[in-house]
A and B are shown apart, each in its own frame.
Chain A
Amino acid sequence: MNTFQKASIMTISAVIGASALSAAVTMVPALAKTKAIHHDAATIQLQETGSTLLYPLFQLWVPAYSKVAPGVQITPAGTGSGTGIQQATDGTVQIGASDAYMNNQLIAQNPGMLNIPLAISAQQIMYNIPGLSNKTVHLHLTGNVLAEIYTGKVRYWNDPQIARLNKGIRLPHAAIVPIHRLDGSGDTFLFTTLLTDTNKNWANTVSYNTSVSWPNVPGALGANGNNGVVQTAEATKYSVAYVGISWLDNGLKGGLGEAAVQNRAGRFLLPNNATISAAASAQVRKTPKNERMSLIYGPGANSYPIINYEYAIINKKQSSSAVATAVKDLLLWAISPNGGNKANFMTKVHFLPLPKSIAPLSRAQINEITG
């Protein structure tokens, strides 16, 4: 074979390769936009993706719901809240799951998106101070002092600002290691919202989001996922961290302390069923119709300050009326106290059911879904 023949074969191959590649490229969006597929008249497939905190709950729900509605097949995936919002918005999935509600800018771009609360979650503040175990005491902390710690203004555990909140406790003169979530996270959203609500400087500089530009504190650490935060906190003496409530037992077993956090009424509380439900109930009346609202640092003497709605992110306009009906039925079941909000689902993932009085708002939103 001469050089010319070789060259022509290479050219042909290159052209074929290029066209195959471009075909693949054009197919990618087509593949990604898999709408709910009707296998046969009886089966409707729904895709769920997003929050890794909600993912275990969906895993519990799916087998239970398959008995309620055998014709609906749900495939859940834990990918992250941002992914959930995006894929629900662009129609890749029918149900997105997010710990944080969509921001105003995103809603303005996609006015057809609904944010429907599915359950209540909470977050606790944990610390690793040798000699200060939960058996003896729960350290008192405020959002304001936490903001000072995370901006590096309060550097030592025996700082007067901390000592003032914890009279009678011997605090060590050891440098505080603030730990934050490195990855985008609903927990970061909750924590930075608390700091924004309680510290002016934080509100003006860092503000709140699922990940923020953390102030430069020497020795401060970032960790990946709640498990990473708990591991890092256990391995790091004199650290402090915010941890999702599902990981509370894990952290306690590892010897971490659990802080009592000051609420708006000035009381220092631990997260438990009573304080979380109190906080949720106190804010039902303030919840707007679109239910996009922070529950952080809410009113009520017995309200734990760091709780939130866990959201389903749904496009009002689904691909067909059959899919719309399937999504509506699933969501109505999910928020029902006899369905997905039943205690045996909730306790397993450390969530609390929605307050009963929130149901009308959610039902009104669910009824907006059409095919």
Chain B
Amino acid sequence: MGIARLRSKIFQVAAGIAAVSPLFVLLFVAVVLLKDALPAFRYQGFSFYTGLTWNMGNAYANNVVVHNGVQAAPGATFGILPFIVGTLASSLIAIVIGVPISLLSAFALVYKVPPRLAKWISPMVELLAGIPSVVYGLWGVIVLAPVIANQVGPWLAKLGSVIPFLGGSIGSGFGLLTSGIVLAVMIIPIITATSRDLLAQVPKLPIEGARALGMTSYESMRHVALPLAKRGIIGAIILGWSRALGETMAVLMVSGNASNYLPTNLYSPISTMASTIAALLDSAMNDATSLSIHALALIAVTLLVITMLTNLLARLLVQVGRRDIGTEG
């Protein structure tokens, strides 16, 4: 066998390993987490998903309780509905605020801003995407939370008579709305940068054709550029959403970290699944029965499944959308 063929074989095997590694990493993570999570599910059952109370039990008690063959600290009960609701609600707010802004700025960067200026602005978007989340969190604590508590909240609350979820007590500014806005700011650069690159790849010819036919710039974007880049843009939005679902540090800092109840209005303190895992792991190690750690693993499994489901749902939407438009992005 010649050296060239050997080289080629090595390359093929190496590329093969690299290609299947994501599958294996995913399987490995899923299997380890599931194995770790199982005792918590045996102990708590489906009330893990419907329960409101999270209590790791009294680790300093001298006895343990046994339920369904699983040992637990006395008083232990694991209900994560508030964390699920907090995660979904805050990330949806981020999407609602973030997506329009991202798409408009991506469109502007590609079609509206003079190229010489865009050359300066574009890298800023990437820089924003690279800022550590703790910095966004700090901004949320120092700047955003007081503004929500003192200005935005009272103004929005006036709409409370029309939309009940906007009314009620505004509280301290740490909560659902602040988390959603911080997350929006964090995902805007991601969605903007990705969709900007996609729009830039849309062939010039159809756009110029559209303009030649007398379409306005809005029409040429809406009817020509957007359909062509649609698949990728939905992908970019999903990317942003996954980031928002899994974000830990920034949310930890601004969410108010409520447990044991569901948000009553837009300003209620919340907790997310990711931030709960990060925050409680150290204490969970105090639990001699280890059930608290199993319960955190079960949260992780749940987060994994939710992220996968949103991805699947998005892919499904994209396929349906593609069939309707009849274009290939």
Contact = CB atoms under 8 A, between A and B. Distances in A.
Contact of B60 (A83, A208, A231): A208
A9 interface: yes
A344 interface: no
A213 B56 contact: yes
Interface of A: 9-10, 12-14, 16-18, 20-21, 25, 79-83, 85-86, 100, 103-106, 108-109, 177, 182-185, 207-216, 218-224, 228, 231-232, 235-237, 239
A214 B259 contact: yes
Contact of A213 (B55, B141, B142): B55
A105 B257 contact: no
Contacts of B309: none
Given A9-B12, A216-B261, A222-B258, A82 B269 contact: no
A75 to B, nearest CB: 20
B284 A82 contact: yes
A17 B60 contact: no
Interface string B161-204: 00000000101111000000000000000000000000000000
Interface string B49-62: 00001111011111
B28 interface: yes
Contacts, number: 165
B159 interface: no
A289 B20 CA distance: 57
A332 B280 CA distance: 33
A211 B141 contact: no
A212 B77 CA distance: 12
A12 B281 CA distance: 39
Given A17-B20, A182-B252, A221-B269, A82 B260 contact: no
13 contacts: A14-B16, A105-B59, A106-B286, A183-B278, A183-B282, A207-B75, A209-B58, A212-B55, A222-B259, A223-B253, A228-B253, A235-B142, A235-B174
A330 to B, nearest CB: 24
Interface in B115-146: 141-142, 145-146
A223 B257 contact: yes
A127 to B, nearest CB: 14
Contacts of A85: 285-286
A14 B28 CA distance: 13
Contacts of A207: 58, 60-61, 75
Interface of B: 12-13, 15-17, 19-21, 24-25, 28, 53-56, 58-62, 64, 73, 75, 141-142, 145-146, 169, 171-174, 252-253, 256-261, 264, 269, 271, 275, 278-286, 288-289
Contacts of A81: 282
A184 B277 CA distance: 11
Given A207-B60, A231-B141, A235-B146, A17 B24 contact: yes
A221 B60 CA distance: 25
Contacts of A13: 13, 15-17, 19-20
Contact of B252 (A109, A210, A224): A224
Contacts of A212: 55
Q: Which 6 A-B pairs have the closest CB atoms?
A: A184-B283, A13-B16, A222-B257, A213-B55, A105-B288, A80-B282
B286 A100 contact: yes
A82 B285 contact: yes
B288 A103 contact: yes
A280 to B, nearest CB: 21
Nearest to A207: B58
A211 B142 CA distance: 26
Contacts of B25: 21
Contact of B256 (A184, A210, A211, A222): A222
